[in-house]
Amino acid sequence: MVVRPELTDAEVDRVFHALADATRRDIVRRTLADGVTVSVLAAAYDMSFAAVQKHVTVLEGAGLVTKEPRGRVRIVRADPEQLERVRGLLEEYGRLWHGRIDRLDTLLASDDER
């Protein structure tokens, strides 16, 4: 199995769009440890089954979850490989901003010394 280390710009857009919604973030959380049927997910929210299906479809489009048919039901599971790529992206952003803040701190400190 080949794991892609980086996300494309389009994938990043889909991931951030998918995770911008609290219900979708909760669905990812609920499916991290084990697969859950769409019906079980739908029972957890005050919305229609179809609305939950749409949320799952958005997550699936971002690669954050997979749907596996099992008989008449669909098992939703978080995709650990995609989540690992997202984590790496967020760490990269964190390093970028920490570096910028460190440079700003240095600049401000040098101004204080004058």
Residue 70 structural domain: 9-113
19 is a domain residue: yes
pLDDT at 50 over 80: yes
Domain count, the chain: 1
Residue of higher predicted confidence among 102 and 34: 34
Domain harbouring 34, CATH code:
1.10.10.10
DSSP-derived secondary structure for 26-48: HHHHHTSSS-EEHHHHHHTSSS-
| pLDDT tens-digit readout, 2-44 | 445 688 899 999 999 999 999 999 999 999 999 999 999 999 9
44 is a domain residue: yes
4 is a domain residue: no
- State pTM to two decimals: 0.81
3 is a domain residue: no
